[in-house]
Amino acid sequence: MEKTKTSTQRVPNLELAPPPMFKVIYVNDEKTTALFVVESLIEFFNYTAESAEAITVDIHNNGKATVAVLPYEIAEQKGIEVTISARSAGFPLLIKIEPE
């Protein structure tokens, strides 16, 4: 009796799912200056001065605001960079990263 070998060939799924997106959220506090917030939005998120000022007012009025929606690794890195910058300037600015 002769044994036959059967091989199964898998077809790889080449479609990549888009990465999950995360919100970068600035939380208002009583010590971080509006100027620092505006400058950080321009430096780290490439906002124009006008849009950065509008977001800063939104953060102040609502207690927090989403400033960007990015893939997790990028959102986390931006959050860390802004936090380090804030601490270096003596500000307690809190940055949260949440799933979209």
Nearest Cα neighbor of 90 from 36, 39, 40, 52 is: 36
The domain locations on the chain are 21-99
Classify 9 as helix, strand or coil: coil
Token pair belonging to 62 = 């609502």
Q: What percent of the chain has pLDDT over 90?
A: 81
What is each CA distance from 79 to 11, 14, 72, in whole angstroms? 39, 32, 10
At 51-98, the pLDDT tens digits run: 999 999 999 999 999 999 999 999 999 999 999 999 999 999 999 999
Q: Does 29 have pLDDT greater than 90?
A: yes
Q: Are strands 64-71 and 94-99 parallel, antiparallel or unpaired?
A: unpaired
pTM of the model: 0.82
Instruction: Return the pLDDT at 81.
Output: 98
CATH code for the part of the protein at 21-99 = 3.30.1390.10
Instruction: Return the pLDDT at 2.
Output: 63
* 40, amino acid identity: S
